[in-house]
Amino acid sequence: MRRPLSPRSLKVTLLSWMVPVLVLVMIGALWLSNRMLKEQVDVAYDRSLAGALRAIDLNISTASGGLSMEQPYLMLEFFELTANGRVHYRVATEDGLAEIGSPALPLPDVLPSPGTPMFYEAVFQEVPVRVAILLRDMDPPLASGHGRLVVQVAESLETRRVFINAMLRRAIERDVVGMMISILVLVAGVIISLRPLGRLRDGLQRRDPDDLRPIESDELPDEVLPLVDALNQHMARHDAQTQAQRQFLDDASHQLRTPLSILRTQLGYAMRESDPDELRAALHAMQEGLDRAERMTNQMLALARARDAGVARHALDFETVDLRELAHGVLRTLLPAARAKRLDYGLDDGPDSMRIYGVEWLLREALMNLVDNAIRYSPIEGTVSITLSASTHLVEVGVIDTGPGMSEEDIARAGVRFRRGQAGKGKPGAGLGLAIVRTISDLHRARLALQAAQPGPGLHVSWVFRRVAS
């Protein structure tokens, strides 16, 4: 069932803005075109009226000492045939003492310049008329003296208005039809243009809940592509988070199944054992198994947090972190473990300020793993040291131990989840420490390098960041 159009839908919004604007524009254009049409019709009729005015003027004579006009009625009859309306004329002196034609034909408020026809509208015998007037000097002048002649020709407006109204009506009908066609084309264009969005909606609704493939944008309008790109990026992040969660569940189910099975076996053995020494040994073994399971769980959670942070990097609170202070804090936290093995354990201080741009709790987690690995793999009374150095643009943290080190093959594959090198065989751990460090290092765009300690034996881990100016 199709949902009714929402008042906030894009289709309704576009049409509610475009249709009224289009109607207003076309109404304005209709008014302007009709006004221009009326002016053009008036010009055509006035041109005919001006011709009659000139014809009458040419037939006026003052040679006999009085005002006379040759064959005026023949000319008026001919003009009426072309004008299709009642025609009146008046020829008079400016002072009105001599006059021929219709004496009551009204004059304009202001007389025109001599020799230039002027047109105006008036009412004559209660009928609206269009009047043409010409003012010129008399040649020769009348016996009464010098003066000017006023020549007027008037045409009733009834026929002209009927013609103009017919023309305007046809023009309005034409423009209204054009307006309706334009509105229909506009509505159809908006509907057709928005069809790709409807297909996009239908395609997304048909997808399975776990289908996070990118949206294809081949047939979508250019204006929608930024939105589709943003949706694809969002789905890519969501897909990465889903993959990380699925990977965490797979890792947890795979890695915790064996320790839990062993604990169950040890618990069954302890419940059947009556010898106190054997019972104590079983409980000690269970405690070691719980310690390994706890460490593995903590490392898996740390790796999951680091991966989630990598997926949602844009949402992390990056800030200025002083690696010197961070290293001192990690050194103090792991001091009890180093004392238990009587290690030569310390920090070679670098510059007073070693600031980088990063996430403090992730950097602390990574450095804790590096130093903890160094302590675990170093022999009793061995050496673990943290070195700090800086150049103009870079900061380096080094973790050096005197353990068995790593082979070239192990170094090449360092950071693979749950993989442990030859030196780690038989030692407690889950093989996740370097995977955590590498994930956090990639998040901070840092460079992580492992190499044999010089002089050996041992391992030297170098962690290089871009320095923030003080």
> What pLDDT digit, counting tens, does each position of 272-288 carry?
777 787 778 778 777 77
Of 263, 289, 310, the residue at which a domain comes to its end is: 310
Over residues 413-429, mean pLDDT: 54
15 shares a domain with 161: yes
Inside any domain, residue 151: yes
414 shares a domain with 334: yes
Which structural domain, as residue segments, surrounds residue 93? 11-165
Structure tokens at 243: 């993959």
CA angle (203, 207, 212) in 5-degree steps: 105
323 shares a domain with 303: no
Inside any domain, residue 261: yes
- 28-56 per-position pLDDT tens digit: 887 888 788 888 888 888 888 888 888 88
Inside any domain, residue 2: no
**Greater pLDDT, 224 or 420:** 224
The pLDDT, as a whole number, for residue 132 is 92
Inside any domain, residue 190: no
Least confident range from 105-114, 133-142, 383-392, 441-450: namely 133-142
Whether the pLDDT of residue 168 is over 50: the answer is yes
CA pair distance 367, 318, nearest whole angstrom: 17
Inside any domain, residue 213: no
34 shares a domain with 150: yes
| Mean per-residue pLDDT over the chain, rounded | 79
The pLDDT, as a whole number, for residue 295 is 65
269 shares a domain with 341: no
- Written as one letter, the residue type at 123 is V
Question: DSSP states of 123-162 as a string?
Answer: EETTEEEEEEEEEEE-SSPBTTB--EEEEEEEEESHHHHH
CA pair distance 437, 461, nearest whole angstrom: 11
Task: Please report, for residues 50, 74, 87, 330, the alpha-carbon distance to residue 390 in angstroms, rounded to integers and kept in the order given.
Answer: 100, 115, 108, 19
**How many independent structural domains does the chain possess?**
3
Of 275, 310, 345, the residue at which a domain comes to its end is: 310
- 216-229 per-position pLDDT tens digit: 777 777 777 888 88
The CA dihedral of 323, 327, 333, 336, to the nearest 10 degrees, is 180
305 shares a domain with 361: no
- 90-99 per-position pLDDT tens digit: 888 888 788 8
Of 130, 165, 200, the residue at which a domain comes to its end is: 165
291 shares a domain with 339: no
Inside any domain, residue 141: yes
The model's confidence at residue 146, banded by pLDDT at 50, 70 and 90, is: low
The end-to-end CA distance of the chain, in Å, is 64
The pLDDT, as a whole number, for residue 1 is 44
**Greater pLDDT, 318 or 470:** 318
127 shares a domain with 82: yes
**Greater pLDDT, 243 or 468:** 468
66 shares a domain with 122: yes
- 305-343 per-position pLDDT tens digit: 666 665 555 556 788 998 888 999 888 888 888 898 899
Whether the pLDDT of residue 71 is over 70: the answer is no
CA pair distance 26, 23, nearest whole angstrom: 5
